[in-house]
Structure 1
Amino acid sequence: MPPPQKGKAPTKGAKQILVENAATVNFYRNMALGAASFYAVLTAALYYDSLTTGIIFLNVLILSINIGCYQMMRYISRPIYSDNTQLVDPGLDLNMEGGMGEHVKDIVILSSITHVLAVVSNYFWLLLLLLPIRALWLLWVNILGPWFFQEAPQDTEQDEKKKKRKMRRHHQ
């Protein structure tokens, strides 16, 4: 095991981010298409007679989720070039830990797993309920919880001195 590096952690170059983003978008697009194709072929072959409106709706929902995630990944990782075709900004790094790309990739993974498992049983469609639960959890942890439970600002020494001076002037 190599010794830990000293100093600043290495950063990715713009071209490396650009290449990795393209590979990531293609990988997750192919994952979603593979899961949808797997479901469509097996359902058409084995369960065509038992298709209901609800099942068709859930398929359209998953396809919409995957299309939305694909478009989101393409949008947030869109590179910006200067007039002379120089790369100015490679876009948001989709593979950055804790970033927006990570959440979008998690959605594609969950929807693809749900699509594949739904071939076995329709109860696996319930896995889609994890999406709003996760969204509410992230909303609570990152926005609402800290907002509700933040401590009141503490008075500094200067604020205390100003209050005392004001009180003296007010009483005189």
Structure 2
Amino acid sequence: MAPQKGKQGTKGQKQILDENIATLNFYRNMVFIANGIYLIVMCVISDSFSWQTIVSNQSLCLFIFVKVMGLFSAAAYISSYQFMAYMAKPTYNDSGQILDSGVDLNMEGGIAEHVKDLIILTTGCQLLSLFSNYFWFLWLLVSVF
């Protein structure tokens, strides 16, 4: 493929705003679907919610571990999404016109890429943990990003 000649085109404020809204909606839906699947499977299929399973010490430790990791994933989801929403918050003038569309969440090499990677990794860890609790250790990959 031949290299492009000239300056790369820039995005307009309206296009950045529309893409930011679409990006936020996509990651919000990803979080809700992942949490929905996780909660349904854990409540319906898993027996870790029954008191007979929690009686032994090993099961109690596993029960606590699963609950702590679930709370940690919820905190990661909420903080990541709120950070992206804060970065992408547009500013308007008195007549309702866009002054600033906020940070472009789809910009390559930006901090939003790392935040989106954290949401994707958290979703993967959460859903894969339905098969084995060892998949929670994939969160250690966050330091690689």
User: Could you state the TM-score of these two structures normalised by the residue count of structure 2?
Assistant: 0.86
Alignment partners' CA distance in 1, 2:36 and 2:14: 33
Matches within 5 A, 1:91-130: 91-130=102-141
**Residue type of the partner of 1:82?**
N
Q: What's 1:31 paired with?
A: 30
User: For the pair shown, which has the larger CA radius of gyration, 1 or 2?
Assistant: 1
Percent identical among aligned pairs is 45
In structure 1, what is the equivalent of residue 41 of structure 2?
42
CA RMSD of aligned residues (A): 1.5
Flag structure 2 segments of 5+ consecutive residues without an equivalent.
Answer: 54-61
Q: Which residue of 2 aligns with 1:9?
A: 8
Offset of residue 134 of structure 1: 2.7
Is there any run of 5+ residues in structure 1 with no aligned partner, and where?
A: 136-172
Q: Which amino acid aligns with 1:118?
A: S
Rounded to whole Å, the distance in 1 between the matches of 2:144 and 2:97 is 39
Is residue 54 of structure 1 aligned with residue 70 of structure 2? no
Give secondary structure in 1 for the equivalent of 2:96. coil
Q: Which runs of 4+ in 1 moved over 4 A?
A: none
The alignment of Structure 1 onto Structure 2 pairs a total of residues equal to 133
How far apart are the structure 1 equivalents of 2:80 and 2:90? 18
Bigger RCO of structures 1 and 2 (CA < 8 A, at least 6 apart)? 2
